Structure 1
Amino acid sequence: MPASRAGQEPLLALEEFLPYRLNRLADKVSREFSKIYADRHGLTRPEWRTLATLGQFGTMTATEIGAHSSMHKTKVSRAVSALEKRKWLARGIDPLDRRLEHLTLTRAGHAAYRDLVPLMKAHEARLLGRASASERQAIQNAIEVLERALKL
């Protein structure tokens, strides 16, 4: 950490500060991956995350999608509307609680998801392929340690 200037608090070097580094890294990785779904299908990040969450889990509410993908409810709502306009997502009313909507991918939504998954996995493999096997394991271990520490 940089030394403090005379009579001042110690300085914080953001480029060495864990939250800053993780945020910068996550944003860069997310932008790299977004090129695939944006170029291929014109999707935004929230739209992709909504599509991917429904593709993985099937029927969910918008609240469940937001909780799983760490997206604010307004982003989820906009993504749901955009996917519905494309006819990639369908809404169903809960028969026991009419306030709840169950969201599911349509046949076209599933097709887009199936189209993107191998591309996303291949890109992940290329990115992680730049590291040795022991480095890849160290990355996984470090992420797991932080997730446990933060109870994710």
Structure 2
Amino acid sequence: MAEEHHPDHAPLELENFLPYRLSILSNAVSQAIADDYQRRFDLSMTEWRVMAVLARFEGLSAREVAERTLMDKVAVSRALAKLVETGWVTRATHDGDKRRSVLGLSEAGWAIHEVVAPMAREHERNLLSRLDEEERTWLVRILDKLQAMEPK
């Protein structure tokens, strides 16, 4: 007689597993946008995300950038090191406190942002054009609801 298996112990059907599907979709969408700016500016996805966050919220610390993006602190630190080295991000001290850096886009960083941000918006428009208005409204509602969930 075959053993009965609890459904939680069956192989995970990744193609139907929501976190996996969201991750695959996110990676595909992000990579489609990233291909353009990587080719043009030798800018990684992590570096662009850091720049985008600093464009939106200037004066953050590296820790705050990592918190806002939910990216690994080491990856953010590496991205920031390259962005500072290339001159696209500035690093200053916060009110003379050498323990806290304040980050922002440099003039050169803003110039790159002004090229990449419209490219990202165009990719977003193309993606959302596959949905009708009601579907777009529901997508935003669903994403907002899922993002508001407290992690366990």
2:114 aligns with: 114
Q: What displacement does 1:96 show?
A: 4.3
CA distance in 1, matches of 2:80, 2:117: 19
Q: What displacement does 1:37 show?
A: 1.8
2:83 aligns with: 83
CA distance in 2, matches of 1:82, 1:96: 24
Matched, 1:125 2:122: no
2:33 aligns with: 33
Using the size of structure 1 for normalisation, the TM-score is 0.88
Q: What displacement does 1:40 show?
A: 2.1
Residue by residue over 1:25-59, the C-alpha shift from the partner in whole angstroms, topping out at 9 and shown as x without a partner, is: 21222212211221221111110011111111112
How many equivalent residue pairs? 147
Matched, 1:7 2:8: no
CA distance in 2, matches of 1:20, 1:56: 29
CA distance in 1, matches of 2:43, 2:127: 21
Residue by residue over 1:49-82, the C-alpha shift from the partner in whole angstroms, topping out at 9 and shown as x without a partner, is: 1111111111211011111111111111111111
Matched, 1:74 2:74: yes
SS in 1 for 2:99: coil
CA distance in 2, matches of 1:87, 1:93: 17
Unaligned runs of 5+ in 1: none
Q: What displacement does 1:130 show?
A: 1.3
Q: What displacement does 1:85 show?
A: 1.5
Unaligned runs of 5+ in 2: none
2:51 aligns with: 51
Aligned amino acid, residue 64 of structure 1: E
- Change in 2 beyond 3 A, CA 1:28/1:150: farther
Q: Does structure 2 conserve the Cα–Cα contact (< 8 Å) formed by 1:36 and 1:120?
A: no
CA distance in 2, matches of 1:112, 1:127: 23
CA distance in 2, matches of 1:125, 1:69: 22
**Identical aligned residues as a percent:** 33
SS in 2 for 1:131: coil
Q: Does structure 1 conserve the Cα–Cα contact (< 8 Å) formed by 2:33 and 2:119?
A: no
Using the size of structure 2 for normalisation, the TM-score is 0.88
1:98 aligns with: 98
RMSD value over aligned CA atoms?
Answer: 1.6
